[in-house]
Amino acid sequence: MLTAYLGLCLLITLTPGLDTAVVTRSVLMRGTRAGLLTAAGCALGLLAHASAVALGLATLLARSAVAFEAIKLAGAALLVVLGVRALWDARRRGGTAPDGHADDRALGGDAAAVAGRPGRGERWAFAAGLLTNLTNPKATLFFLAALPQFLPDDPAGALPTALGLAAIAVAFSMTGLGLWALALGRVRRFVASPRFRRVQERLLGVTLIGLGVRVATE
């Protein structure tokens, strides 16, 4: 049974989702460290969902259409905000100085902001991942569907087993997203030209907005 659960966690980890998009944006905007912090935020949000299911608190969410829609729309709104911000950053990077060169303030605005206020940049990176998963009701529904199938019949051992299975899923998520952030951080060094960064921001902005609209309309 444990092997089947590990295979399921691996499959979910390898399937790109909302958390993958948010980690990608953090790495491309602020670097590998920001991506790792976003991955940690995603993992913590996933842990909250898993713990809620293990403790039996998520049953209300599954039965309440109003609560489900409220959380889903909150998550969709967050994705749209992140997408709009990415598009705004891409536009800012497109500024040019009178001599025809890219405006250093536009190109280095994010880096300067993070360098001057490292705590704020790191908090935003972590919060983006945390909120993305906290407002994603599909995470709760996944654990509601998966965990009961792997719990023992003994009521006394159900809660510790559920928490252990939840921790395994979170470990898979953190490992997968962390490795993705590290790999993308290496590639980022070779695609750091201002023009390419603008294209990246636009593509990510459109993707995040599209994901937000899709989540809201599903």
- Is the pLDDT at 120 greater than 80? The verdict is no
Per-residue pLDDT, 100: 39
Per-residue pLDDT, 193: 62
The owner of tokens 């907005």 is 209
Nearest alpha-carbon partner for 38 in 50, 29, 27: 27
Per-residue pLDDT, 126: 93
In the Cβ-directed half-sphere of 113, how many Cα atoms lie within 13 Å? Answer: 14
- How far is 34 from 25, CA to CA, in rounded Å? 9
The owner of tokens 């997203």 is 177
Per-residue pLDDT, 213: 79
* Cα dist from 173 to 75, 126, 216, whole Å: 19, 15, 24
Higher pLDDT, 54 or 39: 39
Cα-Cα-Cα-Cα dihedral sign, residues 40, 41, 46, 49:
positive
Over residues 124-174, the pLDDT tens digits come to 899 989 998 888 877 877 787 777 777 776 667 777 888 888 899 899 999
Over residues 46-98, the pLDDT tens digits come to 998 888 887 775 565 556 767 667 766 776 787 788 778 878 877 776 654 44
Instruction: Say what the pTM is.
Output: 0.69
What crossing angle do the helices spanning 137-146 and 2-14 adopt, rounded to 10°?
160
For residue 117, give the 3-state DSSP assignment. Answer: coil
Over residues 98-116, the pLDDT tens digits come to 443 443 333 333 433 333 3
Going from N- to C-terminal start, the domains of the chain cover 20-94+104-150+157-217
